[in-house]
């Protein structure tokens, strides 16, 4: 399973990259706003900085909600760097735009996916990635992982090439559940990725090894 980090923060992206296990980055307008990056030019420069840092897929989301706007914006974003993946909301004009980008060989991430029907349309339009939002479904009492599992099974059954990119991941349990259901990618906050390392027996075992070494070697 590939690991993407779900942030626009350059320090966090660098920390995830330096771990040596990073396969890409996802951003969204809220994450960009959190970094205080104002204005199209600055935002585009920020995407390029992220691409230069990680040299792998970086999702950059369009703000337009109409077909023409999405095409213009998506083509601008794709021209910034070959690692840009154009992130498009799962609405009718978005599906049409994904089809257009797919025909032009531009990578896409179909975002804000909350149902199997939406995921089916994204795959049929030729999306590179589909992003079901686990945490937001859990928040309303639905079952985010169950949706990821259904999309994975459906894509495998019909042989769709679209990769299932589990998003809105909030914790380590979500990541491990993604592994169990065979998601292709999990995009996670940095803390959740680092949380995979935590085990008390690792900490106590290491402390004992070092203490025993010190007893003999001083
Ligand atoms: C990433 O592609 C999504 O935009 C992100 O995971 C959404 O996460 P949230 O539900 O925690 O905002």
pLDDT tens-digit profile, the chain (218 residues): 999 999 999 999 999 999 999 999 999 999 999 999 999 999 999 999 999 999 999 999 999 999 999 999 999 999 999 999 999 999 999 999 999 999 999 999 999 999 999 999 999 999 999 999 999 999 999 999 999 999 999 999 999 999 999 999 999 999 999 999 999 999 999 999 999 999 999 999 999 999 999 999 98
| C-alpha 168 – ligand 1 centre gap (Å) | 4
**Residue 3 contacts residue 22 (beta carbons within 8 Å):** yes
| C-alpha 175 – ligand 1 centre gap (Å) | 14
**Rounded distance between C-alpha atoms, residue 178 and residue 194, angstroms:** 16
Catalytic residue among 87, 99, 150, 215: 87
149: left (phi over 0), alpha (psi -120 to 50) or beta: alpha
What is the helix (H) or strand (E) element at residue 69, kind and residue range?
helix 67-80
Active site residue 87: yes
Ligand 1 surroundings by CB, under 6 angstroms: 6, 26, 28, 111, 131, 133, 135-136, 167-168, 187
**6-9 CB contacts, 8 Å cutoff, 24+ apart:** 6/31, 6/167, 6/169, 6/187, 6/188, 6/189, 7/31, 7/189, 7/190, 8/32, 8/34, 8/35, 8/37, 8/46, 8/50, 9/34, 9/35
pTM to 2 decimal places: 0.96
**Residue 129 contacts residue 165 (beta carbons within 8 Å):** yes
């Amino acid at each position: 399973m590939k690991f993407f980090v779900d942030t626009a923060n350059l320090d966090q992206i660098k920390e995830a990259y330096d771990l040596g296990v990073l396969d890409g980055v996802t951003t969204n307008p809220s994450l960009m706003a959190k970094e205080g990056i104002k204005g199209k030019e600055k935002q585009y420069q920020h995407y390029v900085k992220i691409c230069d840092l990680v040299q792998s897929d970086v999702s950059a989301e369009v703000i337009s909600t109409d077909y023409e706007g999405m095409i213009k914006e998506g083509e601008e974003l794709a021209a910034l760097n070959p690692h840009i993946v154009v992130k498009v909301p799962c609405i009718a004009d978005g599906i049409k735009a994904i089809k257009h980008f797919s025909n032009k060989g531009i990578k896409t991430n179909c975002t804000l996916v909350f149902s199997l029907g939406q995921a089916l349309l994204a795959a049929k339009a030729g999306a590179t990635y589909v992003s079901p939002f686990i945490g937001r479904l859990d928040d309303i009492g639905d079952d985010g992982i169950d949706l990821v599992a259904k999309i994975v099974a459906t894509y495998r059954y019909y042989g769709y090439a679209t990769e299932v990119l589990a998003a809105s991941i909030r914790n380590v349990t979500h990541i491990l559940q993604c592994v169990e259901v065979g998601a292709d990618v999990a995009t996670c906050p940095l803390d959740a990725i680092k949380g995979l390392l935590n085990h008390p027996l690792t900490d106590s075992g290491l402390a004992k090894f070092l203490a025993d070494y010190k007893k003999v070697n001083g």
